[in-house]
Amino acid sequence: MTTAALSEQEIQFYKDNGYILHKKQLFSEQKMAELSGIFEEQWELVGRRLNSELDTPHFRDERLLKFLLSDEVLDLVEPLIGPNIGLWSSHFICKEPLIGKQTPWHEDSAYWNGRLSSFDKIVTVWLAIDRSWQENGCMRVIPGTHNNGFSTYEEVDGSKNIFNTEIKNIDDSKAVYFELEPGESSLHDSRIIHGARPNQSPYRRCGYTMRYFSTEAKVYEEKNHNHKIWLARGKDLAGNSFVNG
């Protein structure tokens, strides 16, 4: 592992709380500029608005695999889920200035329920492309909620939220806000309860999520039509069908 690897204290904090903030530059200045340029191209293609087409952009633009399969990222992921790592997905998430909608409280695992055999070793690296701050709707989590399984959801107003369901009875006062400068990142467990307030500021808030799973988990092909996964590091333990397998 490189010097970007996590300390024992950081690993334990992640296990206890379900997240960590990595307040260091993940990529070199040149590499970060390249990634930002790819995002700007993708964003332009969808009319510079938040759009579902920003999901799994590496399916369409394999230049992103340079970042998704990089040692810089995998050296952060390995201490948390082990040496056998599959690339599950990626997503450009952009909250437009002034009109960026709220992200309701949710667990990523709830939206993948039935698609994998287990969720205890899935981690998301959230890389800040723009400055991500409370004023422009940075991500927030409820610490320690990554051991609770699947929560109960209720419907919310879809005109004000990115999606129309939200976990019931969340105490916002317990939230921790992920304030990041461009190039810094956070890591969170797929089961942790998280969300984001709307962006009512004049400042755009964009991040790139890179999601990984331990290959101990089986990805059910019949539930993942047209979804592609890559073996990022180590061995395939569950007999998954990887693009590069």
Domains for the chain: give ranges and CATH numbers: 8-233 (2.60.120.620)
Q: What's the average model confidence in pLDDT over 138-142?
A: 97
Q: What's the average model confidence in pLDDT over 36-65?
A: 85
Between 176 and 245, name the one with better pLDDT: 176
Q: Which segment of 96-100, 107-111, 128-132, 184-188 scores lowest on mean pLDDT?
A: 96-100
Helix (H), strand (E), coil (C) string for 39-107: HHHHHHHCCCCCCHHHECHHHCCHHHHHHHCCHHHHHHHHHHHCCCEEEEEEEEEEECCCCECEEEEEC
Q: Which segment of 1-15, 99-113, 222-236 scores lowest on mean pLDDT?
A: 1-15
pLDDT recorded at residue 53 = 57
Evaluate if residue 160 carries a pLDDT over 90.
no
pLDDT recorded at residue 4 = 46
Evaluate if residue 119 carries a pLDDT over 50.
yes
pLDDT recorded at residue 64 = 97
pLDDT band at 28 (very low <50, low <70, confident <90, very high): very high
pLDDT recorded at residue 245 = 62
